[in-house]
Amino acid sequence: MNIFSSSRRSFIATVAFAGAAVVASLFPGAALAQTPAGTPHMMLQLESGTVDIELEPSLAPNHVAQIVTLAEQGFYDGIVFHRVIEGFMAQTGDPTGTGMGGSDLPDINAEFTSEPFVRGTVGMARSQDPNSANSQFFIMFADGSFLNGQYTVFGKVVSGMEFVDRLKKGSQEQNGTVANPDKIVKATIEYRE
């Protein structure tokens, strides 16, 4: 065994590692992006408890990517459930609280599937334009087959649905608009195997 060649390889590896660290610090975008392992879950901390939403990139990869980006940026922290209709759904994700707002990210094209809207399904809200989804989403209180194939499903509640059930409801006359609405205290992303 040649000790010099072993030391030389070690020296070269050290220099290469240091060089990569310098490049990464000077050009953050040059660092290799690592995709976390496992299934992404959006954890919504509400005032009454935590809702665990399993995100489904196999159904809607672009919607999941946008939701993950927004949650990681802290976009959803403090956002209210501005529209909550008893027996139908709870809608959030609008920074203005009016149902007309969204994020600064581009809108997302529809990713409709045959996945049904049932209790606990999480779908993306949009305007009349199917390709207008941005940051608003809704959680179903009950089955809503009339939405099937019309809105993008991107997740499902796997625990904490009882906390969604406790959200303040809006009036039918006001199309579910809530006075003094509940809010998302904090939204985070976790990855699980």
56 and 140 in a common domain = yes
- Summarised one tens digit per residue, pLDDT across range 70-82 is 999 999 999 999 9
Separation CA 51–CA 41 (nearest Å): 10
107 and 27 in a common domain = no
Separation CA 55–CA 153 (nearest Å): 9
52 and 22 in a common domain = no
- How many domains does the chain fold into? 2
143 and 178 in a common domain = yes
67 and 3 in a common domain = no
- Summarised one tens digit per residue, pLDDT across range 61-70 is 999 999 999 9
48 and 30 in a common domain = no
pTM: 0.82
CATH number at 111 reads 2.40.100.10
Confidence of residue 9 (pLDDT cuts 50, 70, 90): very low
Confidence of residue 172 (pLDDT cuts 50, 70, 90): confident
20 and 50 in a common domain = no
100 and 121 in a common domain = yes
Average pLDDT over the chain, rounded to an integer: 87
- Summarised one tens digit per residue, pLDDT across range 144-161 is 999 999 999 999 999 999
In the block, tokens 């990569």 appear at: 20
Range of the domain at 1: 1-34
What pLDDT score does 36 carry?
A: 82
Contact 81, 117 (CB under 8 A): no
- Summarised one tens digit per residue, pLDDT across range 173-190 is 899 999 999 999 999 999
Half-sphere exposure (CA, 13 Å, Cβ side) for 126? Answer: 21
164 and 124 in a common domain = yes
Q: What are phi and psi of 188, to 5 degrees?
A: -130, 165
81 and 128 in a common domain = yes
- Range in 32-46, 67-81, 110-124 the model is least confident about: 32-46
Confidence of residue 33 (pLDDT cuts 50, 70, 90): low
79 and 4 in a common domain = no
